[in-house]
Every structure is written in C-alpha cells, then in structure tokens.
Structure 1
Amino acid sequence: MSARILIAEDHPASLELMSYLLRAHGYDILPAENGEIALALAHSERPDLILCDLQMPAKTGFEVAEAVKSDPRTKDIPLIAVTAFSMLGDREKVLAAGFDDYFSKPIDATCFVRDLEQHLPPSLLATRLPRATRNGT
C-alpha cells in the first residue's frame, strides 16, 4: 500500500506537476486548491503526508500548519511547505510555524519525490517497477 498525499496548492500548474510526479511514482493524491479544503480533507481523509503552499486563499499555509499541528487527530501527519518564499530566514520561519520540512519552488523534478519520501515510513513507500537496463534486460 502506498501513501495518500494531500497537496494544498492554489496554482494549477504547480498542483498538476506535483500530482503528476507523485502519481507516476505510485502515490494516491488528494488535491486541495485552498487551505480551507486542505483542512477539511486532512480531517476527513487522514492523509499520510501533506504538501502545503504558504500563499493560498481561504486559509494560508501558516493557518493550515497551526490547525493541523494543534489537532491531536492530525498533529503527527508530516507537513511539508512547498513555497516560493526563499529569502534568508524563510526556512527557519516555516519550520518554527510547525512544518516538518521546506521545499522551495520551483520544485526540482529530479529529486522532489525522493526528498518527500524521507518523511514516509518504509511501509508506505510506493512500489516501483525495476528500471530497464540499456540493453533491455
């Protein structure tokens, strides 16, 4: 069984890219286009991990983090900020707000899934098919 990952992202292209990468690796996706929907899904679906933009309508990523981490039902769900905020001190501010990690945008498609998987237990890692070698064996 692979993880169910909630993606809270209001920018359609960013949501599409993250969803595509995660689905291609075998993960189930719960999309949310704003913080309010993300919180409702976090409570009703209990995802295994939450990716969360910081600037969203309805509730910001900081408001989502506060609500998720203060609720006993969701406080243990890994919460990762995915944001364009990349000024000096932003990472520390994000981690101090309750996020477990910080990924800056634009995401690096070559390591995004691998970096995210560090926050999942081995039992929830997606099963991948072995890659074919150059000679097809």
Structure 2
Amino acid sequence: MRILIAEDHPDNREMLTRRLERRGYEVRCAENGAEAVDMAKESLPDLILMDISMPVMSGIEATKMLRQTPDTSAVKIVALTAHAMESARRECMEAGCDDFATKPVDFAGLIALIEKHAPVANRNV
C-alpha cells in the first residue's frame, strides 16, 4: 500500500515514515500542501495522511484541490491535526477528508484508520 505523508514537521515525517515502512507500507513525503497535491497527482497513493496546518498551502486547501481533480478525487485522506475540537473535525470532513486523527499520533489508532481505508488487496500488510 502506498501512503503519502503530508507533514511540515521533519520529526513527525521521520517518525511516521520509519514506523510505517517497518510495517511494510511504501511511503513518500511532502513538506507542504502544494507539494502534497503535486506528489499525489504524480504517484496516485492509496492513502494520504494530511497535516492540516502546513505552510504554502494548508491541508484543507490541498484536500479540496485533490477532491476536484479526477485522478485524485477517490484517494483516501486522513486528516492529522493537533486541534481536537469538533469544529476542526467538521472542517476536515467538509473539505473532503475520509477520516480524522489527532496529534500526538496514537500509532495503533492510526494503523487502524489506515487499515479501515486500505484497498481490499492491501489489507493486513
């Protein structure tokens, strides 16, 4: 399963990449929303872990753009944010995210979300 991590914080990118690769996932990383949109269009990942607060273009803006592009409109997107309020969750879901996880990341919970949205052929990696 191919996962794109869109995260501006280098430590978070490194931690998520290392832990997901150890579980057998193929991981690519983007440092901001604009880069995430470009990389998603190029590589067509199965799932995107989308930080909501990023420079250049927010995760909300990037999600909206991906949903408007035919090639990426069906890619699963899990929002990652430190904002645990219901209003943040609602904003992410209205933008087109498929699910929502808060930071700091509960890795077991994140894996459960990834598996929930994994294409059938890629489950239980």
TM-score normalized with structure 2 length = 0.94
**Residue 81 of structure 1: which of 49, 57, 79 is its match?**
79
1:66-114 deviation per Cα after TM superposition (whole angstroms, max 9, x unaligned): 1000111100000110111112322112101111100000011233212
Structure 1: 5+ residue runs without aligned partners? 128-137
Aligned residue runs from structure 1 range 49-128, under 5 A: 49-125=47-123, 127=125
**Residue 8 of structure 1: which of 6, 9, 16 is its match?**
6
Aligned residue in 1 for 2:39:
41
Instruction: Give the RMSD, CA atoms, in angstroms.
Output: 1.2
Larger RCO, structure (CA 8 Å, separation 6 or more): 1
Runs of 4+ in 1 over 4 A off after TM superposition: none
Partner secondary structure for residue 63 of structure 1: helix
Deviation at 1:121? 1.6
Q: Residues of 1 paired with 2:19 and 2:113: CA distance?
A: 12
TM-score normalized with structure 1 length = 0.86
Tell me the percent identity: 37
User: Quick check: which one's helix share is greater?
Assistant: 2
Residues paired across the two proteins, number: 125
Aligned residue in 2 for 1:31:
29
Of 112-121 and 94-103, the range deviating more from structure 2: 112-121
Alignment-mate amino acid for residue 29 of structure 1: V
Question: Retained in 2: the 8 A contact 1:85–1:104?
Answer: yes
Q: Which has the larger radius of gyration?
A: 1
